[in-house]
């Protein structure tokens, strides 16, 4: 979408009407300022609606990438517009939950439209003794089970990309793509 000269868009603040009386009947001055009005009308339209441009729920779709860059949200032009809007709206919340189970599940749902289950905690170990030997490698790993909605497929590369971005660096994450939801405790 272009916000440049839009044919037929009237200016809310025509320059010709604001000129001194000397130029009110001057045909050249009125035509010249009408040309400027054509150029300035889209600018005034954007400024009059600036609050809508800054609200991802109603911003023009081509403006979402810019808003996403402001808040560090993932913006993929291949996503439906509503998913892109939700990614921008929920960016701060997802950043706050980054590295947590809930954050990973929400990021996968938002980015790829898949459901996920995260088990394990990735065990972090540390030492309070200065100069001590490094602690042994943590024994646990994080298991991320992902399944798409019925009738759709999940791209393994994209799933791994989101998991790598959202898991803490010190954890070992293993991803399983399942054809359907894991069995519940009653089904086991």
- pLDDT (tens digit per residue) in 128-165: 888 888 777 665 688 899 988 777 778 889 889 888 88
pTM for this model (two decimals): 0.62
Phi, psi for 27 (deg, rounded to 5): -60, -45
In a domain, 48, yes or no: yes
- Residue 169 has a pLDDT of 77
pLDDT at 31: 92
Q: Write the DSSP symbol of residue 184.
A: P
DSSP string, 100-140: SHHHHHHHHHHHH-EEEEEE--------SSTTPPPPPPP--
Q: Is residue 58 part of a domain?
A: no
CB 43, CB 9: distance < 8 Å: no
Residue 113 lies in a domain: yes
Residues 176, 105 share a domain: yes
List, for residues 39-78, the tens digit of each pLDDT value: 888 888 888 888 888 999 999 888 899 999 998 888 888 8
In a domain, 87, yes or no: no
The predicted pLDDT at position 5 comes to 63
Tell me the per-residue pLDDT of 85-125, one tens digit each, with 9 for 90 and over.
998 998 888 888 888 889 999 988 888 888 999 887 766 66
Question: How much is the pLDDT for 74?
Answer: 80
Pairing of strands 142-148, 173-177: parallel
**91 assigned to some structural domain:** no
User: Is 148 contained in some domain?
Assistant: yes
Q: What percent of the chain has pLDDT over 70?
A: 88
Same domain, 44 and 104: no
């Amino acid at each position: 979408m272009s916000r440049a000269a839009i044919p037929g868009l009237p200016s809310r603040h025509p320059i010709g009407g604001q000129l001194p009386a000397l130029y009110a009947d001057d045909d050249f001055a009125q035509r010249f300022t009408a040309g400027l009005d054509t150029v300035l009308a889209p600018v005034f339209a954007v400024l009059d609606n600036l609050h809508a441009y800054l609200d991802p729920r109603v911003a023009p779709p081509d403006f979402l990438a810019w808003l996403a860059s402001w808040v560090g949200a993932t913006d993929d032009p291949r996503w439906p517009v509503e998913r892109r809007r939700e990614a921008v709206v929920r960016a701060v919340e997802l950043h706050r939950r980054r590295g947590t189970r809930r954050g990973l599940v929400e990021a996968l749902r938002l980015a790829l439209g898949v459901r996920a289950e995260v088990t394990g905690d990735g065990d972090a170990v540390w030492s309070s003794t200065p100069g001590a030997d490094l602690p042994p490698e943590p024994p646990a790993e994080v298991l991320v089970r992902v399944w798409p909605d019925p009738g759709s497929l999940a791209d393994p590369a994209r799933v791994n990309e989101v998991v790598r971005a959202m898991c803490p660096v010190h954890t070992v994450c293993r991803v399983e793509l399942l054809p359907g939801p894991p069995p519940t405790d009653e089904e086991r």
